[in-house]
Structure 1
Amino acid sequence: MIVSRRLILAAPALAFGSALAQPVGWTVATEYPATSIPGEGVTHFATAATAHGLPVTAATDGPGGYRSAAALTALAEGRFAAVDAFAGALAAVDPLFLLSSLPFLTASHADAARLRDLAKPHYVAALAKHDATLLWTTPWPPSGLWTHRKVTTPEDLRGLRVRTYDATGTEVLRAAGATAEVLSFGEVNARLEAGTLDAVLSSGDGGAGRQLWRWLPNFTELNYAWPLSLAFASNARLAALTPAQREAVTKAGAETEVRQWQAIIGRLEANQRVMRENQVAIHQPDAALRAALRSAAGTAITQWSGRTGQAGAAILTAYGA
């Protein structure tokens, strides 16, 4: 059999083109459990992208030690093609990422959605500086305190060793008398097992996903914030896709955005049902505790606005209009 020299020379190029059309290991990761709303989001995205023609795998529960604070590093190192990250954990990248978890700024699903719309261009621009593209956002149910003992008064809070999810929460709870520190969710269980934590600032969603009732059988409904998680992809990994595959990512991201903001409706009630089924006592803070936290929150918001300059002030002004 005689094979032409032209065909032999063309073969490597054909093989190279075929390899480019086949993305290597498209995985989207989150540090949260599959049952949490961010976990459901990455699963939905993977299913939708696969249906649109790009096979994607969802990885939950912090695969390989993945944490939100290291999300951009994980992308840069090529560990994942896309990630979900708690926005507040990215404060070291840009303090604007703390916006959604500013205390007592949002009081409802509608508030959180409006704040997201105002901040979205800033999130997109900040991620672009790190070669990442925003895919979708996920709202968390409002944050409260999971505690070992009942906490409803300022006296109950004093000296309490509390895990917070960002620097602002740490400032607020310290100002109100607690001993607070930032910890990723992946570190919480070990600290609770060791007896070095008394409380966790988290939504009912995150707490239920981690079954915090095993150590913390009380939950105080602070309605502290409706924070966001952000999902974004590596620009390098996107560039390696075919146009059709990139379209699959775009479509799946848009569908996941819609799904996540619809799923949050009724989530609070569902979480409370699960909590009560697991003998969690749900409490309301008294007026004095609310006042103490709001006073500390005002200082934290002012400090945040100072760090973010005109951009942060413009968002807050537009949100308050």
Structure 2
Amino acid sequence: MTLPRRAILAAPALVIGSAGAQPAGWTVATEYPATSIPGEGVAHFAAAATARGMPVTAAAGAPDGYRSAAALDVLAAGRFAAVDAFAGALDAVDPVFLLSSLPFLTASHADAARLRDLARPRYAAAAQARGAVLLWTTPWPPSGLWTNRPVTKPEDLRGLRVRTYDATGTEVLRAAGAVAEVLSFAEVDARLAAGTLDAVLSSGDGGAGRRLWRWLPHFTEANYAWPLSLAFASAPALAALPAAQQQAVRDAAVDTEARQWRAIEGRLAANRQVMRENQVGIHEPDAALRAALRGAAAGAVTAWEARAGEAGRAILTAYRG
């Protein structure tokens, strides 16, 4: 099936953990907490679809062990009908999913929206090739470093044990001197409680949702990236829906995307307020640290362009032009 550029489709949910008969309603899952912006997105979608006559339940906080990296496998197995996934976690599926989290490529909400529009057809095609369809996109606030001590200069990174959210972030932080590894957000709490992490690369939003300040009372506003989460559903299941329910889901997904991109505009100030209320130290990197991170990032972006091929380079050329 060929999808138009802005097509937003959906598929029915199955009983969690089972590929048995489809119930009347769906479940849409995210690994992020309900207070995060993806968590709010799945809740909004569930409410919007249900109000239009298609019952949907939102499940936040990694239900049934769900992880973003397994999003398309989860859909194929019928564990959930629809899922939100951090895009960068799907780089093994297609390098285009790393695009929004490339370091220092986007510097604002407007930049992130323009890159989204250029990349949307490629996101949809990569999903369709694996039996999924794109539902909506969610912007994250810019990524920074949650740390157990202030990080403001290059030497503060040396030996810092950091969780990253994708392979590019790992490469960049290792090049800058940190000991970095990719971890699902759902794994972070246990690692912090065990004392085997010193820092987490995440937005203030993700950290606020998980209350990272319990272990990491400092946040460095690196403005590293404005990454996306993407919501998908199973393409084969679409044909099983009555036309009215298909339309309900399409409309709810369009409504959810609009809501998510409106919500991000006030999110930064709200996150900073919550962080300050919880005694989080908010820091700016000095010029040397900014230069070190940008220098470390250059090779990662070049490597991504090589992996992404002509299609990926075309998106970047259009964006930079």
> 1:296 Cα deviation (Å)?
1.0
Residues 1:182 and 2:182 are matched in the alignment: yes
> 1:128 Cα deviation (Å)?
0.1
d(CA) in 2 for partners of 1:124 and 1:71? Answer: 14
Contact 2:24 2:55 in 1 (8 A): no
d(CA) in 2 for partners of 1:313 and 1:235? Answer: 28
**Partner of 1:265: helix, strand, or coil?**
helix
Q: Which amino acid aligns with 2:163?
A: R
d(CA) in 2 for partners of 1:120 and 1:296? Answer: 28
Q: Which amino acid aligns with 1:271?
A: N
Report the equivalent of 1:78: 78
Report the equivalent of 1:259: 259
Structure 1 pair 54/25, CA: closer, same or farther in 2 (3 Å)?
closer
> 1:266 Cα deviation (Å)?
1.4
Q: Once the two structures are aligned, what percentage of the paired residues are identical?
A: 78
Report the equivalent of 2:209: 209
Report the equivalent of 1:228: 228
Report the equivalent of 1:32: 32
| TM-score normalised by the chain length of structure 2 | 0.93
> 1:237 Cα deviation (Å)?
2.4
**Partner of 1:88: helix, strand, or coil?**
helix
Could you list the per-position Cα deviations for residues 147-176 of structure 1 after superposition, in whole angstroms to 9, with x for gaps in the alignment?
000000110000000000000000000000
Report the equivalent of 1:271: 271
d(CA) in 1 for partners of 2:155 and 2:25? Answer: 52
**Partner of 1:266: helix, strand, or coil?**
helix
Could you list the per-position Cα deviations for residues 80-104 of structure 1 after superposition, in whole angstroms to 9, with x for gaps in the alignment?
1100000000000001100000000
Report the equivalent of 2:282: 282
State the Cα RMSD in Å: 0.8
Structure 1 residues without counterparts, runs of 5 or longer: 1-21
d(CA) in 2 for partners of 1:182 and 1:265? Answer: 28
Q: Which amino acid aligns with 1:191?
A: R
Q: Return the index of the structure with the highest Cα Rg.
A: 1
d(CA) in 2 for partners of 1:29 and 1:107? Answer: 29
Contact 2:141 2:264 in 1 (8 A): yes
Contact 1:38 1:84 in 2 (8 A): yes
Could you list the per-position Cα deviations for residues 35-76 of structure 1 after superposition, in whole angstroms to 9, with x for gaps in the alignment?
000000000000000011100000000000000000011101
| TM-score normalised by the chain length of structure 1 | 0.93
> 1:24 Cα deviation (Å)?
4.0
Contact 2:25 2:54 in 1 (8 A): no
> 1:25 Cα deviation (Å)?
4.0
Residues 1:297 and 2:297 are matched in the alignment: yes
Could you list the per-position Cα deviations for residues 225-262 of structure 1 after superposition, in whole angstroms to 9, with x for gaps in the alignment?
00000001111222211011011110000000100000
d(CA) in 2 for partners of 1:141 and 1:191? Answer: 24
Contact 2:148 2:198 in 1 (8 A): yes
Report the equivalent of 1:9: none
Report the equivalent of 1:7: none
> 1:312 Cα deviation (Å)?
1.0
**Partner of 2:105: helix, strand, or coil?**
coil
d(CA) in 2 for partners of 1:167 and 1:304? Answer: 10
Residues 1:115 and 2:112 are matched in the alignment: no
Contact 1:163 1:181 in 2 (8 A): yes
Q: Which amino acid aligns with 2:308?
A: T
Q: Which amino acid aligns with 1:282?
A: I
> 1:298 Cα deviation (Å)?
1.1
Could you list the per-position Cα deviations for residues 250-307 of structure 1 after superposition, in whole angstroms to 9, with x for gaps in the alignment?
0000000100000000101100000000000000001110001001111110000000
Report the equivalent of 2:69: 69
d(CA) in 2 for partners of 1:240 and 1:198? Answer: 48
> 1:23 Cα deviation (Å)?
4.6
d(CA) in 2 for partners of 1:214 and 1:90? Answer: 29
d(CA) in 1 for partners of 2:89 and 2:238? Answer: 24
Structure 2 residues without counterparts, runs of 5 or longer: 1-21
Q: Which amino acid aligns with 2:214?
A: R
Contact 1:23 1:240 in 2 (8 A): no
**Partner of 2:265: helix, strand, or coil?**
coil
Matched residues, number: 300
Q: Which amino acid aligns with 1:26?
A: W
